[in-house]
Amino acid sequence: MKIIFWLILLLVLGGLAWIRFAPSDPNVWHVDPQASADQDLAGGVRRRIAGDTDTLQRLDGIITSTVRTERLAGSVDSGRVTYVTRSKWFGFPDYTTVQLSDGTIEIYARLRFGQADMGVNKARVEGWLRQLREET
């Protein structure tokens, strides 16, 4: 019985380590948001707002100041940026791609592991957009 307990514990810890330290491939996550309309998804959210390069720059500042968030790929100058935000305790990664296209900023936030994010990405993106509106 003790051996089974330790094997299960080892598997759980190994899985949590994989989640925290799994590499983030920009070729997989730094993609066109394809946000043709606002959408609430089981594992994320898509949003569209009117904006320009200045708006994208301000949004980038808000996003990069978010705790446990870092830029994965892209830049404001290129018009597309992808960020990874990790959960506090287990380090689950969520990816957010922001793209400026023809006067519209498209945002696509999604989880990597699991089927549903329990509204975490929606709350995060709406918080960023609220901060952006308050700056104006």
**Architecture in CATH of 25-135:** 2-Layer Sandwich (3.30)
Per-residue model confidence as pLDDT tens digits over 16-39: 888 788 899 999 999 999 999 999
Residue 5 clears pLDDT 90, i.e. is over it: no
Distance CA 64, CA 70 (A): 6
Distance CA 68, CA 132 (A): 19
pLDDT given at position 9: 87
Domain boundaries, the chain: 25-135
Distance from first CA to last CA of the chain, Å, rounded?
A: 62
Angle 107-19-109 from CA coordinates, rounded to 5°: 5
Distance CA 86, CA 46 (A): 19
pLDDT given at position 19: 77
Helix orientation angle between 120-135 and 53-64, rounded to the nearest 10 degrees: 120
pTM flag (> 0.85): yes
Distance CA 120, CA 58 (A): 22
